[in-house]
Structures are given as structure tokens and as C-alpha cells.
Amino acid sequence: MSRVKGGNVSRKRRQKVLDRAKGFRGARSKLFRTAKNAVIKALTYSYRDRKRRKRDFRKLWIIRINAAVREHGLSYSKFVDGLKKANIVMDRRVLANLAAEDTAAFAEIVNAVKIARESSLQKA
């Protein structure tokens, strides 16, 4: 029985890994064995961090909203409670953007929230 070496297929498989490892430093982009480990690790990190990015941005938006709301004498949790009571449906990204770029519009939202919170407190 003749020996099968794989030639073309093996070279293509290895080249695919090395192409993905382009830009890595040192042996991680040159040698197949280390490149394969580096590529597996990089793909794992990229999958994990696609999920993490969503968490990180939400945290950032909450921090920005909290800082802006405290200038108007409210805390973040009271502000979010007031948004629900005032029937204002805006996501955190938009609110954080308004707080940073259009302070007048954000101030109007905060005033509407304060009014809604006061009216709900008077009912109770």
C-alpha cells in the first residue's frame, strides 16, 4: 500500500492558520505550532469580548447618566424610577449621549422625571 502524505491539503490548512496569525509578534506569526495556539486563544478572546463589550458600554452609559443626574440633585436609581413613572422610554445609550452633548434637553428630561416622582409620592 502506498503512503499518503497529504501535501496540498496540509499546506492549505497550515497556511489558513498562518494567515489568521498575521500581525502577531515573533514566532506567533511565523511558526505553525505556536501560531495555531495563538489563533485559538485570539478567537476565544474575541468571542468572549464581543459579549463583554455590551456590558462595558452599559456600565459606561450608567456612569455618565449618574454623573449628569447628580448635578440636578438626583441619583441614578431615582432617575430611572422617575423615567418609568413619567412614561419616558429611552435607552441608556441615548440618555448618556444627551447628557454629554445636549445638556438643555437632558435638563428638561430630568425636570419631567422630578415632576413625575413628586406626583407619585403625593398619591402614596
CB atoms within 10 A of CB 30: 12
More confident residue, 6 or 124: 6
Query: Tell me: the pLDDT tens digits for 40-94?
Result: 999 999 999 999 999 999 999 999 999 999 999 999 999 999 999 999 999 999 9
What is the amino acid identity at position 118?
E
**Count: domains in the chain:** 1
Query: Tell me: the pLDDT tens digits for 12-53?
Result: 999 999 999 999 999 999 999 999 999 999 999 999 999 999
The per-residue pLDDT for 58 is 98
Query: Does a structural domain hold residue 1?
Result: no
Of all residues in the chain, what percent are helix, strand and coil, respectively (each to 5)?
80, 0, 20
Domain span holding position 116: 7-123
Residue 8 corresponds to which cell in the numbers above? Answer: 496540498
Angle between helices 92-101 and 103-123 (to 10 degrees): 120
More confident residue, 78 or 122: 78
Distance CA(19)–CA(37), nearest Å, equals 13
Query: Does a structural domain hold residue 110?
Result: yes
Query: Does a structural domain hold residue 28?
Result: yes
Residue where the block lists cell 409620592: 121
More confident residue, 6 or 53: 53
Query: Does a structural domain hold residue 112?
Result: yes
The per-residue pLDDT for 124 is 65
Query: Does a structural domain hold residue 104?
Result: yes
Query: Does a structural domain hold residue 13?
Result: yes
Query: Does a structural domain hold residue 85?
Result: yes
Query: Does a structural domain hold residue 2?
Result: no
